[in-house]
Structures are given as C-alpha cells and as structure tokens.
Structure 1
C-alpha cells in the first residue's frame, strides 16, 4: 500500500480531499493519505502547471525520494482581467477581502470567471503527473458562510443560482473545480 502525503496545513482542505479520494463502498483504498504542512516557496508564474510542478519538486526534496506526494493549487480567473487574479487569488483575498474583490469587477458587465484546481502528484518513482479541474461561473456579492476562501463570491453556472458557500459539500464536490481535478486523480490512483 502506498503512503501518499498531501502538502497542506489547512484542515478544511484535508477533510474535503479525504472525501473526494474516499473509495467506493466495499473497495479498499490502495493508499493511505496523510498530510504535512511543509512551508514551500510560492512560485510566481501565470502557469498553474509550472507553479504546481515547482512546488511538488520542492516537496519531494524535503520529504525524500521515493515518497509519494502531491500538491494542489487553486486559482480564480476573471474573464474581464484576462485570467487575473489567477494563482494570486490567495494574496488578493488576504490583503483585500471578499467585498473589495467583488468591487474590482463593479465597473464591468462581464462578471464571468473560472475556478481552477491543479494537482501535481509525484509517485514513488519520481514521475510527475498533473490533473486539472475547471468550473465556469460568475463573481457575485458574498452569499453564504465566509469560512472557506472565496466560495461565497463564486456562483458556478451549474449551481442553480447558489454560490459554492451555499451548497452542501457533496453537491459542491460534484461540480467544483477541486472535485473535477480530484475525480481524475482518484481514477489514476485506483487504476495503479
């Protein structure tokens, strides 16, 4: 059985990932999942794949060759701003808060956005594998709990008018960018 390390110190993210990678009923998982809150350098790049690969390479160096490990990065791309803030959404959120992020788009009629999750997995042989999920939606004034990043300002097109924050976890996981990326990752892990 493979021991896989998820690089995160975020308890909410870990719980969500454990749900997303849980086996089907009656199927034993071919891996164990632990987490490690490694403090990795934040690579500045517009390419989510480049950021993920750089972070995963750092994690492999810190944990040692032969350790299966994955990193996950999420971006929020505004159509009006040609994809920005993108991977920098974490820093926008930290310095501006949700209301000011929404106000950025106020002068524009185009509120379209896409949420993107990129997973980079290094297997025990040191091979890197990339998985990505994208969900289209709109930026809206904050609705629902504000406990999980920017979930309360993103309304997916297929959510029947709800923000991520207003959705039940299982409902959200079916359409979310993270859910889509982890669905591909899960298929890969269970096929090994």
Structure 2
C-alpha cells in the first residue's frame, strides 16, 4: 500500500520508512509526490496540526496520507513546549537552540519528568481521518548525550541513556512515534482484511 508522508523533516521520514516498510507500506515523501506547498500549524493540539498537514496533501493528490504532530511535554513546565516543540525558541529554531532553551528553563528544577507525544492522522482513500496516539515517558537530562536521533533526543533520558544514545531499532521499539505507527498499521491491516472478506 502506497502512502504519502506529510513531512519535510528528514529525521521523521527515516523513522516512518524504517517502521512502515517492513509492515508492507510503500512510503513516499511529500516532496517525492510533488507537494511544494507549506502548511501553517495553527492547531492548539497535536491532532489538529496532524490533520492540517495530512489534509493539505490529500486535497492535492487524493490518496492515503499520513501526517504526525509530535512534541515534548515537560511536567515542570506545565507540559511545554508541547505543540510548539519544533519552534520552542523561535519560528526557525534549530534543535541546538531548542535544547539550550529547555536546559535553561529547567535550571534549578528538581522535577525533570517528561514525555514525548505523537499523534498520527491517517487520511484513507476516501479522505476519512483516523487518529492514533503514542507516548513515551522519560526525563530531561542535565546535558546532551549521544548523537543519534533528532530534536530533543540527546536530552531525553530513559534510565541512564538518552534517545541520542539509542540505535534506530532500539528507539523505534519504544518511541512515541513507533507506538502510534504500529497502532495505525494494525488498524489498516485489520480493515483491509475485513473489506477483503466483505468483497467475497
């Protein structure tokens, strides 16, 4: 099954491909599909932003589209940066700048609990929206560790290792995006089976 992934983030695209290809999906990026527009993420929830991104692609190509919106929720910061994770320290912020700001805001705070959240919006062939959410709990470290992953991964600690120190396979097995994508894949496969039986 061919799906267009509504993202321009190469790190996310790699994760989508790694997780979905073995499950029988042919992953096509929005740029490979020929989408050159840009989508303003004006939603106040992960689900709203995921839908905006998926819908922009679907309206142009009318084929199954997957978008995610994900971010980091830090308990001591009232769940910030949340939906603003990618632009935490400004509209065109780099991962480095965002990580610096996070460390700065957590200075002197003893509660470092955090969770990554991912909401996947899958628009099927008819344009119906289906949502799948995954979370991954951890805490924010005091310094960057590791060079793998992207975003806040070097600061996101599970036990004594950061996501920046996990291999791609280790991360996919427990990450918020891995969980949401596998739930979505399961739903699609189940649905296809049911439709196949109904057609007989």
Task: Report the TM-score, using the length of structure 2 for normalisation.
Answer: 0.82
Partner of 2:156: 154
Partner of 1:50: 48
How far, CA to CA, are the matches of 1:126 and 1:98 in structure 2?
37
Contact 1:70–1:122 under 8 Å retained in 2: yes
- For these two proteins, the number of residue pairs brought into alignment is 181
Shift of 1:125: 1.1
Partner of 2:120: 119
Shift of 1:187: 0.9
Contact 2:73–2:115 under 8 Å retained in 1: yes
Kindly provide the CA deviation profile for residues 64-94 of structure 1, in whole angstroms up to 9, marking residues without a partner as x: x3x1111111110111122111011101261
Moved more, 110-119 or 181-190: 181-190
User: Is 1:35 aligned to residue 21 of structure 2?
Assistant: no
Partner of 1:5: 4
How far, CA to CA, are the matches of 1:98 and 1:42 in structure 2?
23
Partner of 1:21: 20
Secondary structure of 1:151's aligned partner? coil
How far, CA to CA, are the matches of 1:15 and 1:36 in structure 2?
13
Shift of 1:18: 1.3
Partner of 1:137: 138
Unaligned runs of 5+ in 2: 193-200
Contact 2:4–2:66 under 8 Å retained in 1: yes
Shift of 1:23: 3.0
Kindly provide the CA deviation profile for residues 27-47 of structure 1, in whole angstroms up to 9, marking residues without a partner as x: xx2x42211144432323331
Contact 1:117–1:132 under 8 Å retained in 2: yes
Partner of 2:67: 71
How far, CA to CA, are the matches of 2:129 and 2:79 in structure 1?
25
Unaligned runs of 5+ in 1: none
Kindly provide the CA deviation profile for residues 85-117 of structure 1, in whole angstroms up to 9, marking residues without a partner as x: 101110126163422321211121111111011
How far, CA to CA, are the matches of 1:42 and 1:154 in structure 2?
27
Partner of 2:172: 173
Runs of 4+ in 1 over 6 A off after TM superposition: none
Contact 1:77–1:85 under 8 Å retained in 2: yes
Contact 1:99–1:142 under 8 Å retained in 2: no
Partner of 1:186: 185
